[in-house]
Structure 1
């Protein structure tokens, strides 16, 4: 996507908290860094999000708000993924791109990924220009991450980052009309941890009532028990010699908590690592696991995965080091049925032991749950598989590779790092159009999943075909 060259012009809008001045370029208005909740600092740390404070005068909305505190990606993955760093306390902000002539237009709320502890809406790959160009009011948000957003602490609500995005959804529903959006036509959209948060919002009755559709890209669908979800914050508490309570964590600087987390995670690997942050089933904030809730929802869902998700986390060298014996032990530890491993070997006869294990991880964590949802639902469910292979570092169709295609932002630095300089622009055009179609109409343009298991395959030559590697999915239940 070519970015506009025309100089931006000021444009004003008024919402509940006050007046905003954004910018308008080539028929697209952009309002950035709008508080949807109060800054979660001081007494508001480890508390549910509070309403933002109203302002007087006109608030500048030409720059992104602060990014949530986080540690950068390390190791080989850090060479591919990065995150903008914007200092400040006002991290609970929204960004809006809208057609200048928008009126009751469809709306999409984008929730970024990053394993619940990294990422930011300001990442250039997530620029909403192409969606606004094509008639969609696009909104992206930041939310609390990692120790500040997903710790399990005595005296603090669970799933604070989820409560943030739930509050952001309520803000969109209340305010989007001022930007030309239709509050009755809000589609949720997220990738990886963002996809998990989309699914979690759908599992919350109050949030679900505000949504017309959902897009889940490579998102885990399971929430765990508080006992399992607390492992990451318990490890931080032990490292710092403090109790796992709201008061003890709030008494420590965020930087100290992040440093402790980084020290715990140092030297870990995708197969044997420090416990990660997780969504927890909780009567107040997440009453049921999303995988259960999604089956009964009467709204359209677009859901899918990438063929080789695991290759973002496991380099070719790391895969080569996984012997058949190590792979067998890992499968035993993960309680993966051997029939599933046999099905992968049948589908991919030339795969190494490490590749078989990686593919099993992809299928077990992401693809099998997405398929179970598609099978169980009566409402339209559209399944896709992103299969185009990147020439970069043996990534093939790795996790997150589809983002530059969906946003039609293949020219951004991160998209180039993942897909190279010659990624097919026509594939990006087609994928982006399908996403816009789903947001606008609830139909991306291919058949809904049914007994024939028809799936949209996004490759150099896109096609609709029966689900690939179906025997693997079936072996995983």
Structure 2
């Protein structure tokens, strides 16, 4: 690596196998933003498998965020700031790394590859909540990845490869294997992590034979098991074609822009019910030959996994500032939580013991956590509120609006330290989970308890509720 000078904010060039990349160094942190890892998915490459980007013939300017697949946000107001960046080079990634000391040019750091959420329909890798500066401070190279969303990433169309969004992620992970060493990262110590749809993508990749060897550890925050057999996706695509006035085919959708399709997807999803995930990973191809839960019994047993959920996800209380308050009273919410019948339980928390059970024979181990700190703004431990704590970025834009003016810094220190330790290869300090009643878990920020506590039975109500459903069937 070569720097221009020792100023506070300077240009820095990395000579990688992908070509020379010019980023910025601010103090002890280097940022290389919006690096294309694949050709632009436009023209004949739209609705096609991603193709590796040619080597940059000239230094690539990586001083600003790259274009995003998201053109239209999924909601008018989102908890996470999710900027849409225009442009066609949407298959890009950003690297935030420790700035090496002169004597440390050959020191390799573990790598965290972050996959953003957004229901596989939206979301932005350019969110300030995903800045990797705290990881860089703690000796971790942080990579955030953009991938195709919605129709372009997950529509089931004749003549189009399935799971294009997952294929994008696989190519990005391959890029990391080839190039991250130039940025100070160790390709043999890669942790793939994500939240919500990103966490679900992590579980899908962990279950996929196509991802073998591309990462060594995995973290799923509020991930869930959201793979499908294509029936719902085909029905949704047919209705979407009617809405935009084209046949539900590759040629038909190719005649509409990404923005037109994303606007139509948001409108149709709202019409059908905003709680559905109409497009996402599809089972039955070379990427996901079997459902994710089944794939987890066969693959990834050499990959340690950390997973969990927030306490309330989409079932928060009726705080005055909450734009989407729960229709249930506090007493009703408590009863539903105890029974394991909330959306939070059926979509997110139920996945935790189910995944642990599927990996019961995995030598590498599975560890559970539950993030319980209630945001005073959102009226509970809502979906996404844990991200600034795990990233240790409580000062990031939008945090005060979501977390209130005084989120606990001690909680951020603890959660971030646990995640950094896992990325560095250390085994978590609590017992492994097997998916059965009384499984151990790490609890973060439960009201009335210590900031962190190792406990058992956190997911038991969900296990019981799922068992009752299975028995009824």
- Bin for the TM-score computed over the shorter chain: 0.7 to 0.9
Q: CA deviation at 1:176?
A: 0.8
Q: CA deviation at 1:416?
A: 2.2
Selected match of 1:209 from 194, 208, 213: 213
Which string of whole-angstrom CA distances, capped at 9 and with x for unpartnered residues, describes residues 102-143 of structure 1? 622111110000000111111001000111110111111111
Q: Which residue of 2 aligns with 1:277?
A: 279
Tell me, in whole angstroms, the C-alpha distance in 1 between the residues paired with 2:323 and 2:93: 40
- The 8 Å contact of residues 232 and 278 in structure 2, kept in 1 or not, is answered as no
- The 8 Å contact of residues 73 and 81 in structure 1, kept in 2 or not, is answered as no
Q: CA RMSD in A?
A: 2.5
Selected match of 1:370 from 352, 360, 383: 352
SS in 1 for 2:33: strand
**Which shows bigger deviation, 351-360 or 410-419?**
351-360
Q: Which residue of 1 aligns with 2:399?
A: 415
Indicate how the Cα distance of structure 1 residues 475 and 259 shifts in structure 2: closer, same or farther if over 3 A, else same: closer
Which string of whole-angstrom CA distances, capped at 9 and with x for unpartnered residues, describes residues 351-398 of structure 1? 37887899522122121221122134233111000000110032x101
Selected match of 2:310 from 301, 306, 311: 306
Selected match of 2:368 from 383, 397, 413: 383
1:276-295 equivalences in 2 (<5 Å): 276-295=278-297
1:15-30 equivalences in 2 (<5 Å): 15-30=16-31
Any stretches of 5+ residues in structure 1 without a counterpart? Answer: 1-5, 324-347
SS in 2 for 1:295: coil
Tell me, in whole angstroms, the C-alpha distance in 2 between the residues paired with 1:67 and 1:437: 30
SS in 2 for 1:230: helix
User: Do structure 1's residue 426 and structure 2's residue 425 form an aligned pair?
Assistant: no
- The 8 Å contact of residues 194 and 221 in structure 2, kept in 1 or not, is answered as yes
- The 8 Å contact of residues 300 and 442 in structure 1, kept in 2 or not, is answered as no
Tell me, in whole angstroms, the C-alpha distance in 2 between the residues paired with 1:320 and 1:298: 41
Greater fraction helix: 1
Tell me, in whole angstroms, the C-alpha distance in 2 between the residues paired with 1:299 and 1:352: 36
Using structure 2 for the length normalisation, give the TM-score.
Answer: 0.87
Indicate how the Cα distance of structure 1 residues 208 and 313 shifts in structure 2: closer, same or farther if over 3 A, else same: farther
**Which shows bigger deviation, 117-126 or 244-253?**
244-253
Q: CA deviation at 1:419?
A: 1.1
Indicate how the Cα distance of structure 1 residues 56 and 313 shifts in structure 2: closer, same or farther if over 3 A, else same: farther
- The 8 Å contact of residues 320 and 354 in structure 1, kept in 2 or not, is answered as no
**Which shows bigger deviation, 167-176 or 48-57?**
48-57
Q: Which residue of 2 aligns with 1:93?
A: 92
Using structure 1 for the length normalisation, give the TM-score.
Answer: 0.87
Selected match of 1:157 from 152, 156, 161: 161
| Alignment coverage as a number of residue pairs | 443
- The 8 Å contact of residues 113 and 191 in structure 2, kept in 1 or not, is answered as yes
**Which shows bigger deviation, 129-138 or 53-62?**
53-62
Q: CA deviation at 1:314?
A: 8.9
- The 8 Å contact of residues 270 and 313 in structure 1, kept in 2 or not, is answered as no
- The 8 Å contact of residues 305 and 367 in structure 2, kept in 1 or not, is answered as yes
Q: CA deviation at 1:203?
A: 2.1
Selected match of 1:264 from 261, 268, 271: 268
Tell me, in whole angstroms, the C-alpha distance in 2 between the residues paired with 1:57 and 1:241: 43
Q: CA deviation at 1:471?
A: 3.4
SS in 1 for 2:166: helix
Tell me, in whole angstroms, the C-alpha distance in 2 between the residues paired with 1:375 and 1:45: 39
Tell me, in whole angstroms, the C-alpha distance in 2 between the residues paired with 1:122 and 1:440: 25
Q: CA deviation at 1:222?
A: 4.0
1:343-362 equivalences in 2 (<5 Å): 351=333, 360-362=342-344
Indicate how the Cα distance of structure 1 residues 234 and 355 shifts in structure 2: closer, same or farther if over 3 A, else same: farther
Tell me, in whole angstroms, the C-alpha distance in 2 between the residues paired with 1:162 and 1:371: 24
SS in 2 for 1:388: coil
Tell me, in whole angstroms, the C-alpha distance in 1 between the residues paired with 2:465 and 2:444: 24
**Which shows bigger deviation, 198-207 or 136-145?**
198-207
Tell me, in whole angstroms, the C-alpha distance in 1 between the residues paired with 2:197 and 2:378: 23
